[in-house]
Every structure is written in structure tokens, then in C-alpha cells.
Structure 1
Amino acid sequence: MSHSATRLTCFAMIAAIELDIRDKILIELGHLDMEDLISAEQIKKSTDRMAKEGTTRAKNLSSLLSFLDFAESYEILQSNMNQLSQNTAQGLSNIKPYFQYIVAIRNRVAHNRPMEIDDASTLIDAAKCLIRHNSSDWPEVQSILDRLENDPSFVLGLTISLPADPDNVPQHNLPVPDFDETGFFGRQGELRRIKKAIKGAYPVVSILGDGGIGKTSIALKAAYDLLDDPKQQFDAFVWVTAKATVLTPNEIQRINGAIETSLGLIGSAAKELSGVEYIPNPVDEVLEYMENFRVLLILDNLETVLDNRLRSFLLELPIGSKVIVTSRIGLGIENPVQLSPLEPYESARLLNALARIRDVKQLKALRQDDIERLANSMQGHPAYIRWFVAGVQAGYRPEELLGNNELLLDYCMSNVYEYLSDNARATLRSMQVLQGPKNQAELAYLNDFTADEIQRSLLELITTNFTAMTSQTSGYSLDTAYELSDFSRQYLEKHHPAEASVRNLFFQRNEELRNLGIEVSAEITTSPLAPTSVYVRNAGDYHAAGLLRRAITDISNDTDAALALCTEAQKLAPGYFEGWRVEGLVRSLAQDLSGALAAYERAVELAPENAAVLFHFGDSLLNVAGEPHRALELLQGASRATSADSDISGQIAWAHFCLKDYDSTIVVSSELAKSDIAHISHQRAATTLALRAVAAAINEKIAIEDYDEAVAVLESGVDLLEHLDSRVFTDETVDRILQLHNLSEDLAEKGIGYPAKQSRIFSSRLSGVLQSDQEFSTRTLGSVVALFEDKGYGFFQCPTGKYFFHISQFLDRSDWEFLTEGDLCTFEPSQSNKGDRASGIRLLNRG
């Protein structure tokens, strides 16, 4: 087994410290009885280790000490401090703060556990503290320090051999980590997640990322951590790799005998488990072992042998055993952990460590800010950083390596590109030509893909780590965008550059999309609350908005086609509220009330403060579903979310009226009727509604004989009418004035004192309003005195006589359904050879 220079350096330092400590025991404590120096437990440990090695030495102090480790030897000296020389005691005191660190590092060296980044420097610091006062007392330590200073490569000729107890862990074949040189550091969050996932319910955990991102390293670190975890559940740890190439500064070297098929990979695992060289059916053999024993199987570099046989194997894993996979390509059947590049400070730290450990003087001489600049240019890829340091060490100039990293890109990306479908490659080309993050709706438009097609393509690109996925908050929803990673872009530009015709095609499609966005934005500016106007938040909504405009166009011709376009828009932009708002409109017009309300509800969830969404949902609840309470809340929310708007105010007033809150109706309607900026159609509707509310409120007050309040309400109606220009009056306005005139006369008769007096005054003022325009003088007020429902006619009684009426003469035919004897109506009186007749009839007290 080959070891890194770091591990060998640590071994040399530990061995020197242990040798000097044993000599101190022999020289300064050798006169004491052996049983007083070494405990019975230590003697047993030493003899057991001696027996395991097959040594037949005499059991004297010297031979026993040779099989004690650092902690045991140190303990002997510490227990006899009063017998030691001053220099020895001082040296022991100096390294006391390092005791726990030395023990931990020795354990990592002796049992082939992953080294930490500071292990070698910690041991050297401890050694220097030990010899600080008198180096001649610690000759072996001084000698090793000198040799490390003059010729650090001497450690490469050493063989690690330290007295140690058997490694009481499950059977394993874990290799020496590839990060042994520098130790493992950083990525603690991902490491915790991997270990948690392995301990969880998922049988397969994959570690995904670009080539050279550090997947193998973190998989090994997780496996070694679990190996030493007293709570771990596995009986065996099996490591198998399909790594086929090695990157050097000069070339990509193929590994002789590398596994090239999934069957070969599983066969290698079977060999490790059984110890048998050839097994006819390795899949069944491994599954049987994994059923009878709890095995953690680690499959490294899986993308080189990925096929259906391997997927089938992973789907058949028995309960209790687990598999860790490292791959550049996701399997789709696992719990994936995506490995991101190192943080900038971690990259700089790795570069520094490699330069120091390999003694690359050109890099060691750089300032820290230069180191950080170099590290940042390598985008957090450990393999890139190691390759770069190895290249400088081999004599290449740093700028030459950074300027021509084609070899590295080919190593990291080439064996992944071949897995991509034609659609995925087309999506890559669009991202290559048009830089910057784009959501799936934009990419679908650029490539003329459906939502399903672009989603399949993006899934391929994500699982192969060609694209980076980012999410940003857009209102109350998340909008996901996709962008080529730096490595991917560099690889594509060097190996798969886009042709001029392809570039022009994407530029043209992008311009079309931009023009569509300008057109949609202009519509929303002109009519922000029109149901046919589609709001866009940014360029990512343009394509979905275009589909929704088509859906609105199709409403009257083909509801199913319109709904299909809404669904497509929703799939392309799941967080885009207009997809659901327009669906609500389509379903509402198709009389699918429950479906419309569900769609509007989803739109409000995505955009709870968007005025248009709140308005249209409120409008549907109020005028279709008949839920004025909830409708009023939504409409008032819409009002708060935008500047004064006549449509919203009108619907708020109508909601108050439906709730029989006539006072609020009068206030809101009157403000809208008198507004200088409201359209005249909104003013007319508001005026009529205000008068309806005044009449309804007066009737309520009369019913409870509260004539003072009735007169006060009447006054508000008269004041409004006198304030308004008669151009805002409609036929219904005139009818409502007649109704108020009739109520004022009724109040004058029923009231006493002030109410009666004021009612007569208001009656006179209302007459003045009616007389201000001759068009108002023809309408008449009458009450139903006879009604023949089965025959569809009846009679009105008014001061000028009795008038016949027929159902066909109602302005709103549905008024007939509510008509009862005693109801007040307005109409146009006329005469015929059969007598007086009424036409243009309006029921006034319908509610």
C-alpha cells in the first residue's frame, strides 16, 4: 500500500518521539522494578502485540517498551515525574498541550485513517516544543527534524510500522484516501448530509458533481467516519471503483485493468466479499451477501459503467445493506447529494497546503492575495488545483496552465457529453449562445420544445452536471433558472462550439421572444385590470404569457384547447400566477365554478398582493359564486395593492350592497360617482348603485320607524344628485330618483316635526332634479295592484290611473320572477285602443 508524503512524515515524527521516550524510560527509570513501571494491563498489551508479530524476545523492560505506543510510554514518564531529570520533565511539560493531538494523529497513521490538513505541522510544532530547552536530550526527534529540513523526501523510503492493537472495526477494503496528502477539510455540511442519508431509509445514496469536484474524496471520508462510528450498523465496508483514467500535467493516462462494465464492477465487489477470484453470477452473489450481512457497498466513478443491469441491481438491494454511489450522472433511483465547488477560502487553503507540502517554491513565494486570485480562477475544483500545482512542480508556468486547461476540461467532461440526448444537446447550445440564467419557459421557446421536452432535457443536464440550477424569490414564489457551469461553458467552447447558423437561429428566437414581451407589457399598461391583459414579471414570463394570450383567444371557440394552453404555461412557469388566473377565467366562462375558484385560489397563493389577481378572484366570488364576504376581503386587498381604480371601487361598492351594508355602499359609490378621473361609465354605475343603497337604507329605517335616520340617508342621496352633472344620469338613475321622491313623500306623511319638514324639502329638491332635463319627465312610478302570473300580465296603479303591463315589457325579464303585488316599478306610460299600457318596466325593490 502506497502512502502519501504527509502520512510518512507523520510516521517519522511519531516514531522518533516514541523512540526518544522509550530511551528516557530506560535511562532515567531503568533502575526501578519493571512491575512498578509498567502496569499489568500494559504488560499484557505488549506481550499480545509481540505474539501477534511472532517475536520471541525475552520479556524484559526494553522489549516490552518496544511494543507500547506513545500514550502508554508517555503515561509511564508522567507517573514518575519526580524521578526524571529537569530537562526531561521540562520537555514533557512542553508537549503536554499536544498530547491529545499526537494520540489522534498516531491513530490515523497506524490504522490508515484519513489524515487532517494540519497533522504534519502539528507534529512538527510538538517536536520543536519537546526539544526547545535541550535538543541533545531528544536526539532522534532532533535528527528527524534536521532531515525534514534538509531532505524532506527521505520519508518516501520509510515503511509505516507502529505498535498497535488490532483495528476493532468491521471488515473493509477502503483505500488510502486521495486527499491523504493534505487531509480532508471543508464541506462539513455535505459530509453530514451524506452520513445522515446513509443512516436513513434510502438504500442508495449518490454523490453527484463535475469530474474532479471531489466526489471520491468525500465518499471515502464518509465511509471512514462511519467505520469508526460505534453506532454504525454495517458488518462490512466494500469499496469498488470504475475509475478508468488519471490526469497528469501532460496527459490523461488510462488505468491498466480498469473496470469497463457494470458486470465487472459488481464482479469486483463479489470478489471482495467472497475472496473467490471468479464467480459465475456475481449479481446474485453480491445480493446474497448483502441480504445475509449488512454491507455498505461504495461504487466509485459509476458513470463509466452505467447501464440498465446496474440500475436493476440497485433496485433489488435487500433491507439493511446500503450503497453509496459517486457519479457525474444521476441514476434517478437514489437520494442524491449534489457536490458544489469548494468555497473560495477553501480553494486558497488547499492551494497553499499543496504548495507547502510539495515544496513548490514558486507558489510558496506568492502573497496571499495572489494565492486567492489563482484559486478563484480554478473555480473551486480540487482536481484543477491539484493538477495546477503538479504542473507548476513539473516546470510549467502558472499562466500557461491557467490559459490552456483543455486537458483538464476533457478529463472532467468528455465522458459525460456522450450520454446526452439530441434535445439536451440543443438546450446546451441555446445556453451556450445566449449567456446568463434562463428559466425553463425561456429555454422551451428558444428550442421550440414543449414543457415536457424541456423538463426532460434539463433533468439530463442537471444530472450530468452541465448546468447549475439557482432559485430566486419572485414575489411569493420561487423561480428556478438554469445556467451553464464555468467548466461546461469552457468545455463546449473548446470541443463543441456553436456554428454560425445555430447562433443566428437562437439570436432570432430571442428577438422574437423579446418583441412578444414588449407587446404583452404594452397591453397591461393600457388596461391593467382587463381580464384579457396578462401581467409579466420579467423576461422569463414572456413565453408563458404568449401561451395565455392564445388561451384567452380560444375561450369562445375551444375551451379544452384554452385549458391545455393554461396547463402548458403552468408547467413551464409553475410559480407564474397568471397561468392560474387565466385558467380561472376560462373555467368561469365555461360555467365550471368549482374549477374556476380552485384556479383563482392557486393564483392568489402565488401572488397574494397582486391587484389583478385579487380583483378577478373577488369579482368571480361576488358575481358568480355569490360569496360577498370573501369577495370583499379580496377586493379591498386589490384596492390596497394599487392606486385608485374605478373597477375595483365599483366592485367593492357592489360587495357592500350584496352584504346589505348600505351605509358603506353609499360612501364608496358616492366617491366614485364624484371622481374626476373615473370613466363616465363607472360614474353612471356608481350613481345608480348609490341611489339603490339610499332607497334600501331608507326602507330599513322606515320599517323600524327611525325617521330621523331615514331623513339623514335621504339627504345624502339628494346632495349627491345635486352635485353631479346630469350627463352621468341614465334611465335607471331617473327611475331611482322617482323612487327616492316617492320615499320622501312617504316620510313626509309618516314623520312628525323635523323629519316631516325635511322630507318635504327633499321632495321638492328631487322634483327640481327631475325637472332639470325634459328627458326625465316621461317616466312614471306605480305599484303592482293585480298580477296574473300564469298569463304573464298585470296592472300598475299610479296617481294618473291604472296601467296594463305584460311580461315582455320588462327591461330585465328576470324581474318577473321576483314580482309580487305591492311592488314599486317605473315605466313609460302609453295609450292604445285597448287602454293605458306600461312599457320599459323596471322593478325597483328587487334588492
Structure 2
Amino acid sequence: MSKFNLNNRILMFAICSSIEYDLRKYLINNSENIEIPQALYEKAINRNKEIKSLNNTSNEEAILIELDMGDLVGMISGNAPIFEISASAKKAFLDIFDKVIPIRNKVMHTRPIEFSDRGTLEETLHTLDENVIFIKWEELIKTRYSLKNNPQKLIVETTFIPELDNTTKIYHNLPVPEFDDTGYIGRRKEINELLSLIESDKHQIVTVIGNGGIGKTAITVKALYELLDGTNNFGYEAIIWISLKTKTLSKGEFINISSSITEISSMYSNLHENMIKITENVDEDILTFMREFSTLLVVDNLETLPTSEIIDFFKKIPSNSKVLLTSRSGLGELENRYSLREMNKGDAREYFISLSKYYQLNLHEKPAKDIDGLIENHLYSSPLSIKWYITSIFFGTDPVVILSNKDGLVEFSMSNIIDNLSLTEIEVLWLLLVEGKPLSYGELDYYINPKHSHLLISSINKLSTTSMLRTSSKGNYDINNMAKDYLKTYRVPNTEFIKDVTKKRQVLNRMLQEIKTKNEADPYNPRSLFSNLKNENTKIASYYLINALEHSSKRDWENAENMIKKAENVAPDYFEVYKIKAFINAESGNLMDAITSYRIAIENAHDDIEKASVCYLFSVFYTIKIQDYIMAKELIEEAQKYAGKEPRITFERGRVHMYLGEFEKALEIFESIDTKELRTDKLLNQYASKVSELYRRMAGNYNNRDLKLKYVYLEKSINELNKLRHIDPMTCVVLMKALIDLTYIFSYEPALKLFISSFEGNMTLIQNNSSGYVNRLRVRIDNNESLLPEKIVRNGMNLGISFSERAKNITNKNKGIITKITDSFGFIRNAYGDYYFKVFDLKYDNPVVGDKVIFELRDSVKGPKAVRIKDVD
């Protein structure tokens, strides 16, 4: 036997008509005992003018035919004593019809049917004759029999004729609801929110945005019928509806609507038919109507028309009227968008079960967990998708085949959206598809890398007017499953795009790892970044900040500023943005901007170590860039409150007191440091250089006549550096400053000896140093050549000279100049390039930078290297 289902409204109409027939018959059979009230008589006359001409018996029956169920029930309950109806029977009678009458009115006046309405009427169909026994329910019993034994005959015999809608004062042409099969299910919260927008005087254009099939039309129709029967706070006098839908679902397939409106001129003409025609100017007549009558103009499926052609018209809508749109993509800034998302789990399951029962299938008998999984993972929690699936099964398609052939469903739901997107907008969707997770604005900016930031922002805004791009509570962006399936089928990301994303991800991860390593090694370095892994936006901001630092190191201030702006756009609350911005501003000479940025960085820092790092750098800024040691002292002491006994901050505290001339306090601070806790060469160098500089400055308290006292402190200064196993370039500068100071007291013999031993012991370090103190030291050696050994003078005269340029003029492949030398290796240069060598290959004593040499070449894994090196001189 083939499955058969009966349209809800026809079924409910048949039940209501049967009940009304039996109620009228009861009143006619007992008419000698009552009179029809004058108000009901006039109501009947207004509906049928011919009643006056009928005889008494026919007149009475004709009057009752014109009355509604509520009127009939009122007459019976009002005359209960006359009909000898007991109080308990009357109460039972009224309790039943209190539920039935509102449903009857929905059915007769084409109002949306609720999910529970059919169940209520079916229960009444089967129990009314048992619960109300003073009426013979003959017609109702016939209907019940027909439904059970011959429903086809009931359809043939039942003609649904809606009553004239005299329940509202609002003129309207709203369509008959399309959800009669199950009644309207769920989305109560969304209906209330939409009604609030429609009735508000703040939003002249409201657009319900969502995928095709998500239920935009259904919720709009439901809300508007509630508006007709509600308070109508806005005071609408007319609701004019026009549908631009071009496809519909029929028997599990999507078919084109042959009479659909596809041009704006056709839309105007259709609207014109429902309004007062004054002139031949169609759109002007529409505006005149909306100016004279407070009108809600409803346009369903706006995305089928070109947006640009209709925006100008909507801008002319009079202030006393409004526009309500449903669309898969919005109009932009002109509208207030209401985004309709998927049905929640409970509503979707309820709808699935109701449809299964309606089509007399057994799908609803599955476990709730299986139903929920099917709806969420395969049917997008979309009403249309659920209906498509169930009707396809009803018409004989295998469920497995249905789910493996969703292309038609997806194309129907997503068409008219993606075809109109720009390349940047498509790339945003591709990126979200490739990454397979929600992405922050910063991630979108990094991977898409638009030429201008406003291009990405406008693309995100455009996509936000569609149902595809969503924003989570955390501010991340994602696309829905249906959009993903559409892209996989119709707009697949190309290979070049995927490879580009992969490469950028690798670059980002590598840089983040480098930042992590740098943070661990030197957390108070201005190039170290804290909390950069806090979220995706801070990760991306860190990438831009590192690039900004690289540009600033090359004094490329414009690109550095651009990178800072990108970081600020991505993570405006990230304190490191302002710390790095301050550091770069200080380096470029924008001191006021630097001060402002440091202050903002402190305000945005959260953890103690974050605040300590900013206060530390701010203190260094006041020390180095402004020489305001009082402010520097305040900030470094603030940093110490947050960081405790952090060595770098203690170093800086000592330095600030040194600059303030508080030498004893500075020395006390430095001596409080346990050097055994300084476990890296860098920290040891920082400590030694600070203490050495302190002693050098203490020596400066004495003039050159106090030779012995001056010498004592310069000796301490140099001895502090000699404790180091390895002196780095910055510490070497302090050494050179002390050596320069020694040259002014050569008349004191120990000073001369200390200079000679220190210079010879650190000659390689000094030769390889690039600071300006190298030239100053050369000048002092030149001025004192008569007091110094010849070798010291010869090596001193080579300081600061660019031997690399001289070497370029040597064209003999086996001759060159030593341009760099360390304890274990060095480099020789000539016109043909640089040659690496090992120190043990030198065949003469006391080699220094600048020596002219001859050598042999030998092949190695890394290229030719110099061996058997001899001094030319």
C-alpha cells in the first residue's frame, strides 16, 4: 500500500467545519428556546445582505451559517440553563473550545499553524463526542470515519475556502504559510527579536540574512502574521509582500519557478498591482502610497535582483514606512541585519520527527543521538535540508544515495552569493576552508596579505552581509558547513593558494620559535616579546613587530611604522605593540611619541614580568636618550618591585646611580649581586662592563695630578674585565675607554705597563671592534708613539682602517690582507673574495688585522681555504 499524507490545513479545516456544522445543527434543533442576539444578527447581515429576504426558518439557518465557531459556542454557553446544560458540562465544553477556537481562526484566516495545533485538533476529533455528550456530533464522527477509512475521498469532498480576513485593520497581501505540513516549530526567541526590529522606529530597513533554506521566509511570514494579530506598535496601515524566489523544492527536487520575478521593473509592476494607481510612473506611485499609508514593504529573496539597482529606490522610502528584506546577502551599511542561523538542536530534532510522522515514515524512531548527528553533520541543521532529505526518502530515494548527492541542495542554498564575490573575498573563504578552524582577524590579514588593510576590512564586511562568514564570541571568523561543501564542489582553492598558505604558516611558526628562544635567553632585551602566544592575534602581531624591528635596524623608518600599524590593527590591546613602537620611536628620534607609547605599554601590561620589562626599557630610554636620571631611577625602581632580584634590572639600577654620581650606592648595588648566579657569558659581560665603567668613572673624580689614585681605579676597571673568559664587543668598548684614559697618565709607569699588557692581550678583540672608540684609541696611540713599543704603535696605527677596501686592489690570487682574526680562525681578502683560514696555518708570529700575506689555496667542503700563510713583510 502506498504511503499517503493529508495537508495539515485541509485536515484541520475538515475537522473545524465538521464541528461548526454540528454546533449549528444543535442550535437549529433548539432554536424555539432562544433568540439570536442583535449584534450577531447584524454581523451576519454584514456578511450576507441576502439574509433579510429569506423566510424565518431559512433566515435563522442562514444567520447561523454566517457566524463563527466562537459565536456559536458563545450562544450555547450563554443559554446553558435553557438547554439544561449542567455547570460541570458547561465548564468542560468551554475548556475544550478555549483551545479549539484560536486554532480554528488560524485555519480559516490562513494564519501560521503551530506545531501543537494539529495534535490538539486530532485529540478533539477523537474525544469530543465523549467529553461533550449533550450534542450529537454526527458530522464530526463522519469525518473521523473518512480519515480512517477513505482519506482520498475526504480530500475530494473538502474544498478549503479561507474566510475574509476581517480580524485585522492592516491591509496586506501576505502569502499562505508554507509550513502547514508540520506547523511552525521553534525559534520563539528569533521571532521576538525580529518583531522588535520590525516595530522599532530606529531601523528603516531590516534584512533577515541566511543561507538558502535556513528558514528566512518562514520566520518572516510567521512574525508578520503575529504582527497582524498583535499590538502593531509602529502603527502600520499596510503590509505589502513580494516574492523574488526563483526556485522551490518539489518531491525532493529543486525546480525553477516559471513565473518568478528576475528584473526590477517586474518587481515594481507587481508591487503596483497591490497599491493605488495614480500615474503611469510605477515607482513614484509606490513611494506615494508608502508616504500616504504607513507601509511595511516586504521583499522576499532580494539576492535574485542586482543590489545596486534597488538601493537607490530604498533610499527614497518615506520615513513613516519601512522595508523588510530576506536575502542571502545584504545591502551593506544601509540596513540593520538580522542573521538567521541554523535551528538549535531541539527545534531541528522536533522538526525532523514531525516531518517523519507526517510522511508516515519511521525515521523518527531512531535514537535521538543518531537523529542529532544526521541533522548536524549532514543536513546543516537547516529546515529545507531536513525537508529535502525526508521528502526524498518518501518519494523512494535511498538515504545513503541522498547524502552522497547533496550538490543540488548545496547549489540551491548557496547560489547567488559566491558568484558575486571579489577575489579577496573568495580568498578569505578559501583560507578558512584550508585551515579548517576559526581564524582571527590577524590571521586573515597575515595569510591574505592585502595591499591595503581597508581592502580586507571591506571584504570581511561584505562577507558578513552574507550567511557564510560568522563571528564567534571571541571575535574569530568561520564559515558554515554548507559554505564549505559548496566551495569544495564549485570553487575549490587552487594549488598555488594552498602552497602559499603552507609556506606562510611555516615562516610564522619558525619565527615564533625564534622569539621563544630569544625570550628564554634574554627576556629584557627590547627585541624579546612576552605573551606572544596568548592568542592568535598576538602571534601575528609578534610577526609584524619583529619585521618592524628589522626595518628599524636598517633605519627604514617608514616600513617599520607600517609594520607597527599592522600589529596595532591586529592586536590593539597587546602591550608589546606599544613597547616596540616606543623603542623604534626612540631610535628614530621621535621622543614624545616614544614616551607616550611606553606609557600605553605599561597600562596594557598585565603580568609583573610584562610591567617590569616595560619599566626597565623606559628607564633605559630616559638614561640614554634624554639623560633624565631622576626619571630613570623612578622607573627602574618600579621595575624592581615587579621583578625582584632580576640581574638585568639590578645592573640598570646600579648604572642609574652611577650616572647620578652616587658611586658608593652603585658599588653597593653591584656587590649585592651573586656572580655565581650569572650563568651566561652575556650576563657576566653585562655585570663586568657595568662595574668596570663604574670604576672608570670613579677614576674620573681625580685629575691627572692624582696619578696614583686615578691609576688604582683604572686598574680595578681593567682587572674586572680580565676576569671574563670571553669579552664581547660591547664590553670591549668599555675596555677601550679605560685604555684611552690610561694614555693620559703614562707619566706614571704602572699605567704605561698596564696599557701595554692589556692592549697586547686584547689586540684581536680591539681590531675586530667597529665602535668609534677604535679611532679614538688609535689617535691616543699615535700621540704617545714615543712612549710605546714599536709593535704596539704599528698595530695601533691599523686600528679603524678598512683593510677590506684595500684588499680589493690585490689581483694576485695567492696574496691578500687579513681582514679578521680570532683565537682560532680568520679571513683573508683579495680581489677574488674572502678565504677562510685556521690560525695554526699561519707560519709567522703575532698576526694582526691588516697584515699583508701570501698563501696557498686548498679545496674544502665549504670552498677554497688559505693554508701555509706567510707574512709578506
Contact 2:22–2:138, Cα closer than 8 Å, also in 1:
yes
2:793 corresponds in structure 1 to: none
Contact 1:179–1:217, Cα closer than 8 Å, also in 2:
yes
2:321 corresponds in structure 1 to: 321
Query: Structure 1 residue 581 and structure 2 residue 575: aligned?
Result: no
1:25 corresponds in structure 2 to: 27
Q: Structure 2 CA distance, aligned partners of 1:361 and 1:464?
A: 35
1:544 corresponds in structure 2 to: 541
Q: Which amino acid aligns with 2:613?
A: F
Contact 2:442–2:541, Cα closer than 8 Å, also in 1:
yes
Q: Structure 2 CA distance, aligned partners of 1:259 and 1:588?
A: 64
Q: Structure 1 CA distance, aligned partners of 2:631 and 2:714?
A: 39
Q: How does 1:182-331 map to 2 (within 5 A)?
A: 182-198=182-198, 199-230=200-231, 231-249=233-251, 251-274=253-276, 280-331=280-331
Shift of the 215–634 alpha-carbon distance from structure 1 to 2, 3 Å rule, reads: farther
CA offset digits 1:781-817 (Å, max 9, x no partner): xxxxxxxxxxxxxxxxxxxxxxxxxxxxxxxxxxxxx
Contact 2:13–2:160, Cα closer than 8 Å, also in 1:
yes
Q: Structure 1 CA distance, aligned partners of 2:98 and 2:374?
A: 36
Contact 2:640–2:646, Cα closer than 8 Å, also in 1:
no
The correspondence for 1:528, drawn from 508, 523, 527, is 523
Report the Cα offset of residue 633 of structure 1: 9.5
Query: Structure 1 residue 554 and structure 2 residue 551: aligned?
Result: yes
When the two chains are superposed, the root-mean-square deviation of aligned CA atoms in Å is 4.3
Q: Structure 2 CA distance, aligned partners of 1:42 and 1:532?
A: 88
Q: Structure 2 CA distance, aligned partners of 1:623 and 1:658?
A: 14
Shift of the 301–629 alpha-carbon distance from structure 1 to 2, 3 Å rule, reads: farther
Q: Which amino acid aligns with 1:530?
A: N
1:517 corresponds in structure 2 to: 512
Q: How does 1:81-480 map to 2 (within 5 A)?
A: 81-84=80-83, 92-132=90-130, 137-152=136-151, 156-157=155-156, 158-161=158-161, 166-198=166-198, 199-230=200-231, 231-249=233-251, 251-274=253-276, 280-332=280-332, 333-357=334-358, 359-376=359-376, 377-450=378-451, 451-472=453-474, 480=475
Q: Structure 1 CA distance, aligned partners of 2:671 and 2:385?
A: 70
Shift of the 290–369 alpha-carbon distance from structure 1 to 2, 3 Å rule, reads: same
Report the Cα offset of residue 350 of structure 1: 0.7
Q: Structure 2 CA distance, aligned partners of 1:247 and 1:499?
A: 33
Q: Structure 1 CA distance, aligned partners of 2:106 and 2:636?
A: 65
Q: Which amino acid aligns with 2:342?
A: P
Q: How does 1:636-655 map to 2 (within 5 A)?
A: 645-647=646-648
Q: How does 1:64-75 map to 2 (within 5 A)?
A: 64-75=63-74
Query: Structure 1 residue 482 and structure 2 residue 483: aligned?
Result: no
Shift of the 604–634 alpha-carbon distance from structure 1 to 2, 3 Å rule, reads: farther
Q: Structure 2 CA distance, aligned partners of 1:19 and 1:656?
A: 105
2:37 corresponds in structure 1 to: 39
1:716 corresponds in structure 2 to: none
Report the Cα offset of residue 123 of structure 1: 1.8
Q: Which runs of 5+ in 2 are unaligned?
A: 702-710, 718-873
Contact 2:115–2:183, Cα closer than 8 Å, also in 1:
yes
Contact 1:204–1:322, Cα closer than 8 Å, also in 2:
yes
1:15 corresponds in structure 2 to: 17
Q: Which amino acid aligns with 1:570?
A: E
SS of the equivalent of 2:213 reads coil
1:78 corresponds in structure 2 to: 77
Q: Structure 2 CA distance, aligned partners of 1:268 and 1:429?
A: 39
Q: Structure 2 CA distance, aligned partners of 1:98 and 1:609?
A: 67
Shift of the 207–143 alpha-carbon distance from structure 1 to 2, 3 Å rule, reads: same
Q: Which amino acid aligns with 1:266?
A: Y
SS of the equivalent of 1:126 reads helix
Contact 1:348–1:372, Cα closer than 8 Å, also in 2:
yes
Report the Cα offset of residue 205 of structure 1: 0.9
Contact 1:206–1:326, Cα closer than 8 Å, also in 2:
yes
Q: Structure 2 CA distance, aligned partners of 1:342 and 1:350?
A: 9
Count of aligned positions: 689
Report the Cα offset of residue 401 of structure 1: 1.4
Q: Structure 1 CA distance, aligned partners of 2:379 and 2:528?
A: 48
Q: Structure 1 CA distance, aligned partners of 2:658 and 2:139?
A: 99
Contact 1:615–1:634, Cα closer than 8 Å, also in 2:
no
Report the Cα offset of residue 729 of structure 1: 5.2
Q: Structure 2 CA distance, aligned partners of 1:646 and 1:155?
A: 94
SS of the equivalent of 1:568 reads helix
Report the Cα offset of residue 260 of structure 1: 0.9
Give the % identical residues.
23
Contact 1:588–1:620, Cα closer than 8 Å, also in 2:
no
The correspondence for 1:616, drawn from 614, 617, 626, is 614
Report the Cα offset of residue 301 of structure 1: 0.8
Report the Cα offset of residue 108 of structure 1: 1.7
Q: Structure 1 CA distance, aligned partners of 2:567 and 2:699?
A: 50
CA offset digits 1:201-243 (Å, max 9, x no partner): 1221111111111111122222222223332322211111211
Q: Structure 2 CA distance, aligned partners of 1:449 and 1:580?
A: 24
Q: Structure 2 CA distance, aligned partners of 1:4 and 1:629?
A: 86
Q: Structure 2 CA distance, aligned partners of 1:670 and 1:564?
A: 41
Which stretch shifts more, 522-531 or 594-603? 594-603
Shift of the 400–631 alpha-carbon distance from structure 1 to 2, 3 Å rule, reads: farther
Report the Cα offset of residue 728 of structure 1: 8.4
Which stretch shifts more, 453-462 or 286-295? 453-462
Q: Which amino acid aligns with 1:564?
A: N
Contact 1:611–1:638, Cα closer than 8 Å, also in 2:
no
Q: Which runs of 5+ in 1 are unaligned?
A: 473-479, 660-664, 687-725, 740-769, 777-847
1:494 corresponds in structure 2 to: 489
Contact 2:80–2:90, Cα closer than 8 Å, also in 1:
no
Shift of the 418–280 alpha-carbon distance from structure 1 to 2, 3 Å rule, reads: farther
CA offset digits 1:153-185 (Å, max 9, x no partner): 556443345777723321111111222332333
Q: Which amino acid aligns with 1:41?
A: A
Q: Which amino acid aligns with 2:372?
A: E
Report the Cα offset of residue 736 of structure 1: 8.7
TM-score, with length taken from structure 1? 0.71
Q: Structure 2 CA distance, aligned partners of 1:381 and 1:120?
A: 23
Contact 1:262–1:307, Cα closer than 8 Å, also in 2:
no
Q: Structure 2 CA distance, aligned partners of 1:146 and 1:671?
A: 106
Shift of the 548–680 alpha-carbon distance from structure 1 to 2, 3 Å rule, reads: closer
Q: Which amino acid aligns with 2:66?
A: F
Q: Which amino acid aligns with 1:307?
A: T
Q: Structure 2 CA distance, aligned partners of 1:123 and 1:629?
A: 84
Q: Structure 1 CA distance, aligned partners of 2:164 and 2:299?
A: 30
Q: Structure 1 CA distance, aligned partners of 2:520 and 2:304?
A: 55
Q: Structure 2 CA distance, aligned partners of 1:6 and 1:400?
A: 29
Report the Cα offset of residue 648 of structure 1: 5.1
SS of the equivalent of 2:323 reads strand
Shift of the 735–307 alpha-carbon distance from structure 1 to 2, 3 Å rule, reads: closer
Q: Structure 2 CA distance, aligned partners of 1:407 and 1:643?
A: 67
CA offset digits 1:571-615 (Å, max 9, x no partner): 344454433332233234444455345444555565534733563
